Structure 1
Amino acid sequence: MIRKKSRREESLDHAELARLLPAPGDPHLSLDRHLLLEEHLMSEIQRTAPAPAPARRPARRVLLIGVPVTAAALAGAFAFTALTGSGGRGPAAATPPPVEAPVVRIEPGSTAQLASTVEHIAAAASASKTPEPGPGQYIYIKSKVSYLSVLHTGTDKSKTWVQPLHIREAWNSPDGKQGWLDEPGYQPKGGTTLDTDVESSLNAPSYDYLKTLPTDPDALLKKIYKETKGQGNSPDQEAFTTVGDLLGEELAPAKLNAALYRAAAKIPGVVVVDHAQDAAGREGIALAHVDQQSGDRTEWIFDRKTYAYLGSRAVQVKQADDVKPGTVLEYTAVLERAVVDAQKQRPGAQGTGA
């Protein structure tokens, strides 16, 4: 599935799903509850063709199942996705079955060192040599990722399922109109187009659009709150999420990156977490914010010495939906950012790396 904020769902094939899933145990489900379960599961394992919008990370809380579903059933459902296709424009790729989400120690967050930590991060961002794409070039970003797949509430215990860690590579033109995504197991074999006519915005940014944003932190934060009004679980959480989306699978001018960090520090509830680990296993410090409605904490992870951005993590810190505190709902690691001369070209002699 293409990572983006908005998603459309395919029509549901109840009969096929019923064939794949084992008969439920106690408690007995009504027909209405059965259909609701099927609809939720099918909305996760089947997607439409890629929407004409830049690749985005998925919204969390993808699926909540209030009845037992076995790992075997999940594996069968994902195998069904491979047989029926993933909605792309090429041959279907086998979708790996989800794995049980890792559980980590919940590290405390504090505002004691927030101002100084953000200044270190912003200074490092300002000093970084960010490549600037030229006409006909593409922004290349390689990541290692794992996103939430299924929340499962059983009768005796709860498990949260996530995608296995996997590589994701994206190419985007500076204007955001052309692109390519290669994410084996989650996109058609060989990848899928990201070409779009959608105008760039905070929710669908491009490099050219990011260059137009104010670099004054107060003005930038005001714009973010204004343009995301009514979205997300709260204004503060949505502002933090929006800034985070601009830090991951994007390339932004150095001055804007610094402004984004300084703006984020002004969002109520932002704290520093002393110990966090990205999807590549790299340890660092984090800027974090708790979604008070869902109970999960989004963490942006930085190298402890250089303050360079490493990746992100979402950890459940409050009991919610029977998800254990400490459960890692998603985590990412940015492995490489570069400017290359063509779609599908990886950094090398002709690319300018960062």
Structure 2
Amino acid sequence: MDELDLIRERAETVGFAPAEHLAPARERLLTAARGGRAARPRRWFWAAGATVGLAAAITAVVALAPADRIGVGAGVANADPVRVLSEAASAALAQPATAPRPDQFLYVKTEFPGYPPREVWLSVDGTRDGLIGDTKAPGCRDGKAHVSGANDPSKEGTLEDCRPYPAYLPDLPTTPEAMSAYFTAHHSGKKGDVNAMGKDVIDLAGEHVLPPASYAALFAAAAKVPGLTALDHVTDGAGRPGVGITWPVGPGASSEAKPVVLVFDATTHQYLGTDGEAITVKAFVDRAGQRP
């Protein structure tokens, strides 16, 4: 039995948390401060519902065991990072799969402290023209895409070589071992740079959607990374409280470099974002510019 089998077994047996355990977390979420940041470019390499980055959490929230039973509550000291990520994998696996149509768009709203939110409409299959804020994000059709937003006005509207960059990734690995191998083959930083891997996890859990089994494998694979640290009393970019997971800063990094912090809801174990940004809306829509 591997890690994902254990996660499946837990998801089937642990059940739902009672209302008295959910009420405090719900109240915190309702009263949490909202913020924003200037639009950022799309990040890293491959690239995270209603409020979280789990594929099926776009429309549903499932609470597993109460936080005080597993030791990852928002006020618990010395939270176990492997347990936090394992619970995140369990929460992902418990969600129903909701595959979009190829002609739809993934809408993601990301909030940042002190700046306007970022909104994107990304083509599900990568072939249709989407939007990043007010800027067109050309789709790739037959290996060609129209140039948009070029520094050289003469290139605006011309064709360039491309490959589709789909927002929905249905074919990623579904086991921790295979997902770890995928990370190794597609890492964004130098080989062995676990901080870069943390950023890659954020990219997959941010402006992309995976099937639940792939999300479970993603977090279970992340749990295998050496040097993880769990942080109590952290908040995401919208001020929502949770438990944080960090990776070590890579060798040779600046003395001022700070590790990326992934934030998970302490009750539902769902991915919220990072300490600098928060995925607050994530849904499929029928056209670019449409909001759910």
Q: TM-score range by the shorter chain?
A: 0.5 to 0.7
Hey, what does 1:296 align to over in structure 2? 258
Which residue is 1:250 aligned to? 208
Q: CA deviation at 1:180?
A: 3.0
Cα offsets for 1:257-310 (capped at 9, x unmatched): 111000111112222112211111100002211314143111111111111111
Please report how far the alpha carbon of residue 232 of structure 1 lies from its aligned counterpart in structure 2 after TM superposition.
Answer: 4.3
**Distance change >3 Å, CA 130–CA 168, structure 1 → 2:** farther
Tell me the TM-score normalized by structure 1.
Answer: 0.51
In structure 2, relative to structure 1, the CA distance for the partners of 1:340 and 1:206 (3 Å cut) is closer
* Paired position in structure 2 for 1:226: 185
Distance 1:271 1:303 in 2: 16
**Aligned position for 2:125:** 175
Matched residue, 2:172? 213
Q: Answer yes or no: is the 8 Å Cα contact 1:237–1:290 preserved in 2.
A: yes
Structure 2 segments unaligned to the other structure (5+ residues): 1-38, 49-74, 141-161
Q: Give TM-score scaled by structure 2 length.
A: 0.62
The match for 1:335 is 280
Task: Name the CA shift for 1:215/1:341 in 2 (closer, same or farther; >3 Å).
Answer: same
Paired amino acid for 1:143: T
Deviation at 1:2, TM superposition (A): 5.4
The answer on whether the counterparts of 1:215 and 1:256 sit within 8 Å (CA) in structure 2 is: yes
Deviations along 1:72-94, one digit per CA (max 9) or x if unpaired, are xxxxxxxxxxxxxxxxxxxxxxx
Pair 144,179 (structure 1): closer, same or farther in 2 beyond 3 Å:
farther
Instruction: Tell me how many residue pairs correspond in the alignment.
Output: 203
Question: Once superposed, what is the RMSD of the aligned Cα atoms?
Answer: 2.9
- CA gap of 1:346–1:255, structure 2 versus 1, over 3 A, is same
Q: Which has the higher contact order (CA 8 A, sep 6+)?
A: 2
Structure 1 gaps of 5+ residues are: 7-52, 57-106, 147-163, 184-190, 314-330, 348-354
1:165 aligns with 2:115: yes
Change over 3 Å in CA distance of 1:214–1:55 after alignment to 2:
closer
Runs of 4+ in 1 over 6 A off after TM superposition: 53-56
Give the 3 Å change call, closer, same or farther, for CA 135–308 of structure 1 in structure 2.
Answer: same
Cα offsets for 1:136-155 (capped at 9, x unmatched): 21111111135xxxxxxxxx
Write the mapping of 1:85-104 to structure 2, written as runs, cut at 5 A: none
Indicate the percent of aligned positions where both proteins have the same amino acid: 31
The CA distance in 1 between the partners of 2:110 and 2:96, in whole Å, is 20
Q: 1:140 to 1:196 in 2, by over 3 A?
A: same
Cα pair 2:47 2:205 within 8 Å, conserved: no
Pairing 1:199–2:163 present: yes
> Residue 288 of structure 2 aligns to a residue in which SS?
coil
SS at match of 1:219: helix
The answer on whether the counterparts of 1:220 and 1:260 sit within 8 Å (CA) in structure 2 is yes
Partner of 1:317: none
